[in-house]
Amino acid sequence: MRLQGKISLITGAASGIGEAAARTFAREGAAAIIADRDEANAARVAGEIRAAGGQADYVIVNVGEAADIERMVQSTADKFGRIDILLNNAVYTAVGRVADIPLEEWQRTLDVSLTAYFYATKLVLPIMVRQGGGVILNTSSTAGFLADYKLAPYAVVKAGVLALTRNTAIEYARKGIRCNAICPGSTATPGFLRTLSRPKGFREIYEDKIPMGRLAKPEEIANLMLFLASDEASFVTGAYYLADGGFTAHSGNPYVPGQGPDWE
Ligand X SMILES: NC(=O)c1ccc[n+]([C@@H]2O[C@H](COP(=O)([O-])OP(=O)(O)OC[C@H]3O[C@@H](n4cnc5c(N)ncnc54)[C@H](O)[C@@H]3O)[C@@H](O)[C@H]2O)c1
CB of 231 to ligand X, least distance (A): 24
Torsions phi, psi for 173 (to 5 deg)? -60, -35
Which residue in 90, 125, 128, 156 binds ligand X (CB under 6 A)?
90
Kindly give the interhelix angle for 152-172 and 103-110, rounded to the nearest 10 degrees.
30
Give the C-alpha distances (Å, rounded to integers) separating 184 from 6, 187, 250. Answer: 24, 7, 15
Beta strand pairing status for 7-11 and 240-243? unpaired
8 in contact with ligand X (CB under 6 A):
no
Residues in region 106-125 near ligand X by CB under 6 A: 112
* Count of chain residues binding ligand X (CB under 6 A): 28
Q: What is d(CA 199, CA 174) in angstroms, rounded to the nearest whole number?
A: 50
Nearest C-alpha neighbor of 246 from the set 140, 138, 142: 142
Of the pair 169, 216, the CB lying nearest ligand X is at 216
62 in contact with ligand X (CB under 6 A):
yes
178 in contact with ligand X (CB under 6 A):
no
Of the pair 91, 233, the CB lying nearest ligand X is at 91
160 in contact with ligand X (CB under 6 A):
no
Of the pair 14, 169, the CB lying nearest ligand X is at 14
| Whether the Cβ atoms of residue 17 and residue 226 lie closer than 8 Å to each other | no
CB of 102 to ligand X, least distance (A): 18
Q: Bridge-partner residues for 32, per DSSP?
A: 8, 56
144 in contact with ligand X (CB under 6 A):
no
Which residue in 139, 165, 180, 230 binds ligand X (CB under 6 A)?
139
Residue 45 is inside which H or E element, if any? helix 39-51
Which residue in 3, 9, 10, 17 binds ligand X (CB under 6 A)?
17
154 catalytic, yes or no? yes
Burial (Cβ within 10 Å: 0-12, 13-18, ≥19) of residue 261: exposed
Q: Contact positions toward ligand X, by CB under 6 A?
A: 12, 14-18, 36-38, 41, 61-64, 89-92, 112, 139, 141, 184, 186-187, 189-192
Q: Which residues are catalytic?
A: 154
